[in-house]
Amino acid sequence: MNQKRESRLGKGLGAILGDIEINVPERKPVGYINKEVAGAKPVQDYSDVLRIPSGLIDPNPYQPRMAFDNDSLEELAESIRTFGLIQPISVRRQPDGRYQIISGERRYRACKLAGMDEIPAYIRVTDDQGMLEMAIVENIQRQDLDPIEVAMSYQRLMDECDLTQEKMAQRVGKKRASVANYLRLLRLPAKVQHDLKAGLLSTGHAKVLLSVDDPHIQELLCDLVIKDGLSVRQLEEKVRRLGREASQIPPRAQDLPDDYYRILEHIGKFFDNSISLKRSPTGKGTMTIRFNSDEEVRKFLKALEDSNI
């Protein structure tokens, strides 16, 4: 472990994590090479992913975000070069045969920076929401989906059909807690999401990693699971040994009460879902909110003031 990493992790963590950069299976980018290229044939399943030539995609003129941080975009582009685009963008087809972004403009820009000629995307038929909902729900009910695909389907159903977690859980016949747990997987670093998709670690491992706040340590622990074949229980023990806030998890991962998921849902929408909550069996806990700009904080404050909270 080099000096830079050692100083970042702090004394003692190197002994717990060990030298985890050897004998880790080579990661191949998540690709969509077997998917159809848009325009090759009529779209039959709106829940599936197509590959669209980047030159046929236009930004959304109603995109609320006007500024994109260049450093952040470059980091995402580098992640895409390494792991591929894990979460496809969503677009709608225009009368002239081009495509307009509905959601995922930041991912689209990062894909272009990464030099991708074809960008994986969902095609949305905006004038037939019922068909869209049925297609996504049918996709969710498939048995061969990996956990990240399930989570992305849930998120897409919420975003494109304007559903709350509670309404979406009713649509797919799942408990709200189960839906919320899947959505939390999308907060993991791309590297961890990739390995979850590839089957290199389980959903149980991923839930334990979500109890760690630092994405860098999440990635190191992920590598450790792969290298040493750690069980979920062994990973929990590693996390507990890391000490301080990152180690405050019960012996086995437990679901939060529904009220807590409501808090995560309502507050998270103001901060791009960058919010985490930890609760001990006694009811004590902490809530962490990560924000990207002063504007996010101002919008949240205005919402509080308007609701007279």
Type of residue found at 149: E
**Which residues are bridge partners to 277 per DSSP?**
287
Looking at 36, 78, 105, 166, which residue is catalytic?
Answer: 105
Does 105 qualify as catalytic in the annotation?
yes
State how far the Cα of 48 lies from the Cα of 145, in Å rounded to an integer. 12
d(CA 198, CA 226) in angstroms, rounded, equals 11
Q: Check: CB of residue 185 under 8 Å from CB of residue 203.
A: yes
- Round to whole Å and give the CA distance between 229 and 171: 37
Catalytic residue annotation: 105
